[in-house]
Amino acid sequence: MRRSVALLAAGWLAVTLCTTAPVTRAATAPGSPPRLEDTLRYAGRTLAKEPVDARIDRVWHAVPGLCGWQLDVPESIRLSKAKHDGRVHLAWRSIPPRVRLADLPPEPIYRGPEQERSVCLMFNVSWGEQYIPSILRTLKQSGVKATFFLDGAWVKKHPDLARQIVADGHAIGSHGSGHPDFRTLTSAKLYQQIQGTNDLLQQEVGVRPRVLAPPAGAYDERTVRMARNAGMYTILWTVDTVDWRKPPASLILQRVLAGVEPGALILMHPTEPTAKALPSVIGRLQADGYQFKTVDQVVLEQTATAPPAVLQR
């Protein structure tokens, strides 16, 4: 998934998927196999995906868009002939939205686009380090990438654990430093929370975040504007598990399933019941057909899935 996302950003999609989708229905003479060009044009019509524009919503504030894809038939013909393996190779172009998130005025983000059946798992980390190894094991075993919003003060105390989160391939966001209420800070101190924490995370874990989760979800217009000036987006949530109160693991699962919908951002913390609930949360969401993506992918308007790169003829 990380590889396909990187290629999407470069304007191409190439993944190692095969499909036996009915792309051979193009009109040909009776009894003869479909021509390569006919197969590709049919695949282009049936597998293409239209982009989704970003928008401002009265309830959800800024809702990111979603890139689409379009088949490059001439390049697909060239690839298919060059491979000499009897299969149809597809070259896709990424189609960006006409209106992108970056085009919208500064607004907080509470959710991703509903046109894709995907969700984000988000962990705000200012404490609970004893449960992070268990959470990381579950995520690795499930093949799921999450987003960890790290408190700068916490990172100073637990740099090795923070680096392990990065090494496991998870996205890193900022959670400020010391868990203050951003609304009560002077502009100078708020600036330090945003830029200073970014500098610290860059130094300690080698990542400069593009997403900011205000502590306790407390923000004001200054926060959103200042974050945007720093090249960041202010992130809230669609589903709050309220796991910081340490409810039973079954209640955490119940809250997720009751509130989840396509595009949901699911807020959690590193608590013991969260670590216990996480395998069931992931398993139930996967069983319901949800894909997982990071918040970085959401704000970059990248898809959770990609079209096939190879078709059986």
Is 146 inside a domain boundary? yes
Q: What is the DSSP letter of 109?
A: B
Give the structural domain span for 96: 2-100+305-312
Only one residue has tokens 């598990």, namely 241
Asked if 90 and 162 sit in the same domain, the reply is no
Q: 290 near 264, Cβ under 8 Å?
A: no
Task: Report how far residue 290's alpha carbon sits from residue 282's, in angstroms, rounded to the nearest whole number.
Answer: 9
Is 91 inside a domain boundary? yes
Angle of helix 197-205 relative to helix 159-167, nearest 10 degrees, comes to 70
Q: What is the mean pLDDT of residues 303-309?
A: 91
The model's confidence at residue 121, banded by pLDDT at 50, 70 and 90, is very high
More confident residue, 312 or 156: 156
Q: Minimum mean pLDDT among 34-48, 52-66, 123-137, 186-200: which range?
A: 34-48
87 exposed, middle or buried (CB, 10 Å; 0-12, 13-18, 19+)?
middle
Residue 297 has pLDDT above 70, yes or no: yes
Is 78 inside a domain boundary? yes
Residue 13 has pLDDT above 70, yes or no: no
Q: 266 near 238, Cβ under 8 Å?
A: yes
Q: Which two tokens stand for residue 237?
A: 């949530």
Asked if 85 and 228 sit in the same domain, the reply is no
How far, in Å, are 151, 158, 295 from residue 163 at the CA level?
A: 13, 9, 19
Q: 173 near 211, Cβ under 8 Å?
A: yes
Asked if 220 and 72 sit in the same domain, the reply is no
The model's confidence at residue 275, banded by pLDDT at 50, 70 and 90, is very high
Is 110 inside a domain boundary? no
The total number of structural domains in the chain stands at: 2
The model's confidence at residue 289, banded by pLDDT at 50, 70 and 90, is very high
220 φψ region: left (φ > 0), alpha (ψ -120 to 50), beta (else): beta
Asked if 202 and 68 sit in the same domain, the reply is no
Is 107 inside a domain boundary? no
Q: Which pLDDT does position 312 carry in this prediction?
A: 64
Asked if 93 and 16 sit in the same domain, the reply is yes
Asked if 245 and 156 sit in the same domain, the reply is yes
The model's confidence at residue 32, banded by pLDDT at 50, 70 and 90, is low
Residue 165 has pLDDT above 60, yes or no: yes
278's enclosing H/E stretch is helix 272-287
Is 298 inside a domain boundary? no
Q: What is the mean pLDDT of residues 111-120?
A: 97
Is 13 inside a domain boundary? yes
Is 191 inside a domain boundary? yes
The model's confidence at residue 301, banded by pLDDT at 50, 70 and 90, is very high
Asked if 133 and 18 sit in the same domain, the reply is no
Asked if 156 and 254 sit in the same domain, the reply is yes
Residue 133 has pLDDT above 50, yes or no: yes
pTM: 0.87
Asked if 205 and 135 sit in the same domain, the reply is yes
Query: How does the average pLDDT of the chain come out, rounded?
Result: 90
Q: What is the DSSP string of 141-170?
A: HHT---EEEE-HHHHHH-HHHHHHHHHTT-
Asked if 204 and 247 sit in the same domain, the reply is yes
Q: Minimum mean pLDDT among 6-20, 45-59, 154-168, 189-203: which range?
A: 6-20
